[in-house]
Structure 1
Amino acid sequence: VQMGPRNFLAIPYQSIPVSITVEGANILTRSLMIFGQGAMRCHPYLFDELQLLQSEDKESALKEFDTLFFKHLGYTFNRGAKAFIAGYV
């Protein structure tokens, strides 16, 4: 946009994309937070894994985390295999 001395629309035009971007970012951020919270609560292992990261007893938390992590991997491969088979049939 040319910012000549007689261009009275240049400054309002330059301010419009900023307001649209900011408003869109707020809606997107809120949506992603809601989705993330739902995914965290619905997953069978993820919430417990993250709780173990905040545990005071690091040695026992690490053993529990390893158990949960391998269950998490098994769950992931199980869901992937079921999705592949359902798509194939």
Structure 2
Amino acid sequence: MSDEPHSYAIFDWELQQDIALLSPNPIYRLILNSFNDLYHRMALQYFENSSHRSISKQYYFALLDSLLNGDIEGTEKIARSMMKNSLHLWKKQMNGG
């Protein structure tokens, strides 16, 4: 993946969709798909910030490492922590830094 906002937006969206496939709720992926256009517009803004890309890259590696080690609870904690952190970063960005 190149260090470009567009690459991160695509990768992150595909990751979200792949995770949704693992959900026992088939409706979840349908709901997620309805946010496709909105997600891409917002993700491009979010990933314009190079520190957001760096933090996300660390998250992707931590998530992969946790999954490969079979640490399902740890994986959930990593994902929840990143969701919280991303929301904080997004709010900070929208408020001018």
Q: Same fold per TM (> 0.5)?
A: no
The alignment's TM-score, normalised by the length of structure 2, stands at 0.26
The alignment's TM-score, normalised by the length of structure 1, stands at 0.28
Larger-gyration structure (1/2)? 1
